[in-house]
Amino acid sequence: MALLALVIGIAAIAACAPILSSQTTPSNDLRIAPLPPRGTVVGKQFTYTVEKGDTLSGIGARFGVSAKGLASRNGFAVSAKLRPGQVLRVDNRHIVPSSLQDGILINLPQRLLFLFENGRLVAWYPVAVGQPDWQTPTGSFKIVTRETDPVWDVPVSIQREMRQKGERVRRKVPPGPDNPLGEYWMGLSATCCGIHSTNAPQSVYQFKTHGCVRMNPDDAEDLFYRVEVETPVEIIYEPILLARNPDGTTFMEVHPDIYGRAGNRVERAAEIAETHRLPSGGGSPEWEETLRGEEGIATLISSDR
- Residues 149, 66 within the same domain: no
- Residues 159, 73 within the same domain: no
What span, in angstroms and rounded, lies between the C-alpha atoms of 16 and 29? 24
Q: Collect all residues with Cβ–Cβ distance below 8 Å to 131 and sequence separation of at least 6.
A: 14, 207, 208, 209, 210
pLDDT at position 36, please?
53
Q: What is the pLDDT of residues 190-208, one digit of tens each?
A: 877 899 999 999 999 999 9
Low-confidence ranges of the chain (pLDDT < 50): 1-32, 34-35, 37-39
What is the chain's mean pLDDT, rounded? 83
Query: In 3D, which of 239, 196, 17 has the Cα closest to residue 109?
Result: 239
- Residues 140, 107 within the same domain: yes
- Residues 111, 86 within the same domain: no
Residue 62, domain extent: 44-91
- Residues 124, 216 within the same domain: yes
pLDDT at position 75, please?
94
Out of 236, 256, 272, pick the residue that ends a domain.
236
Helices (H), the chain: 56-63, 67-73, 156-164, 217-224, 265-275, 285-293
Residue 255 lies in a domain: no
Residue 115 lies in a domain: yes
Q: What is the pLDDT of residues 248-273, one digit of tens each?
A: 778 889 999 999 988 888 887 887 67
Number of separate domains in the chain:
2
Percent of the chain whose pLDDT exceeds 70: 83
The CATH code of the domain that includes 77 is 3.10.350.10
Strand 103-107 relative to strand 232-236, pairing: parallel
Out of 215, 236, 257, pick the residue that ends a domain.
236
Residue 299 lies in a domain: no
pLDDT at position 281, please?
60
- Residues 19, 160 within the same domain: yes
Q: What is the pLDDT of residues 58-87, one digit of tens each?
A: 999 999 999 988 998 999 999 999 999 999
pLDDT at position 245, please?
72
- Residues 18, 165 within the same domain: yes
- Residues 75, 107 within the same domain: no
pLDDT at position 30, please?
38
pLDDT at position 6, please?
44
